[in-house]
Every structure is written in C-alpha cells, then in structure tokens.
C-alpha cells in the first residue's frame, strides 16, 4: 500500500512550503517501513513549554497538527508542525530584522518517548516565515484533506 502525508503552507503570495512528510529526509525511514498514517488537526498536550518565548502573549500558538506514522516495527513516529505568530516585541534587528513574522516549529518524537521540540521540520530549514495577513495550512493524508486558515489578526 502506498501512503501519502503532505503539508502545504500558502499565503497571498502563493505556496510557501510543500513538504512530503514521508520523504526520507523528514522521516529518516523508507516509505515501505510505514504501516499506517493518521493526522489529527491539533497538538496533544501543551506546546507552550519554552518559558519566556512561547508563554509570551506576543508569540501565541496559532495552529498545529500531528502526523501519527505507525511503522512496521510497531513504533509510532509523531511529527507535529506548530505555527506561531511572532510579533517580535523587542524589534531586535538580529531577530528577523526586527520585523513581525510567523514561526513554524515542530515536535518530533516516537510515541511513548518524551516529546522534543525542534526549530524546523526534520529535513527542512523552514522556521521563520515573512509576515502575511494569513496562512493556509493544508494537509493531505491518503487522499483526505484538512485545511486551516490562520489570520494574523486572530487572537
């Protein structure tokens, strides 16, 4: 059986990212090792673990989801992209030129292990995205699509 797990981000300028979550560079495993995939349009638990950053009202979580990828060995890999709005309140020129922007982070772990946050989806360098009025998150898993429209003015 062939599985599909794709994350696409777009804004008014077009496609920002189109990521095959089953690519070896992301999954660190071959597609033929995948037994099943489930997508949930939320993050399990509390992504606000980085005290002083993610707890800051100027850096709210705006959207998230989780790919549950069951492997043939019985383990389940969890990849959870999370989109934050970074208002960059200090306007530090060394942090994205002092400008407001979106942050895309990811939790990457094997279910049952301690969740760990990484700054970007494995296999990518995508982390800071230019500010736009909105971002569309589109996920396709095995022919089923989930869309989430996130507006900068939300919250």
Whole-number pLDDT of residue 114 = 85
What total number of domains does the chain contain? 1
CA 35 to chain centre: 22
For residue 123, the enclosing domain spans: 5-151
Q: Is 26 helix (H, G, I), strand (E, B) or coil?
A: helix
At 58 the pLDDT is 80
- Give the DSSP H/E element, type plus range, for residue 138: strand 134-141
Phi, psi for residue 96 in degrees, rounded to 5 = 50, 40
- Contact in structure between 125 and 16 (CB atoms under 8 Å): no
pLDDT above 80: residue 105: yes
Q: What is Dmax (Cα atoms) for the chain? A: 50
Q: Report, as an integer, the average pLDDT of 40-65.
A: 68
Cα gap 50→42, rounded to integer Å: 18
**pLDDT digits over 57-104, tens only?**
788 888 888 999 999 999 999 999 988 899 998 899 999 999 999 999
For residue 42, how many other CB atoms are within 10 A of its CB? 10
Band (pLDDT 50/70/90 cuts) for residue 46 is low
**32 versus 63: which is more confidently predicted?**
32
């Amino acid at each position: 059986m062939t599985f599909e797990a794709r994350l696409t981000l777009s804004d008014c300028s077009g496609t920002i990212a189109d990521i095959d979550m089953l690519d070896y560079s992301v999954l660190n495993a071959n597609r033929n090792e995948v037994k099943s995939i489930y997508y949930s349009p939320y993050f399990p638990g509390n992504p606000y673990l980085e005290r002083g950053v993610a707890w800051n009202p100027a850096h709210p979580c705006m959207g998230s989801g989780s790919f549950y990828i069951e492997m043939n060995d019985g383990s389940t890999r969890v990849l959870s992209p999370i989109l934050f709005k970074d208002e960059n309140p200090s306007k530090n020129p060394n942090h994205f030129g002092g400008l407001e922007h979106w942050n895309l982070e990811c939790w990457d772990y094997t279910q049952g292990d301690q969740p760990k946050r990484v700054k970007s989806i494995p296999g990518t360098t995508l982390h800071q995205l230019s500010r736009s009025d909105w971002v569309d998150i589109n996920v396709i898993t095995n022919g089923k699509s989930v869309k989430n429209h996130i507006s900068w003015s939300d919250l």
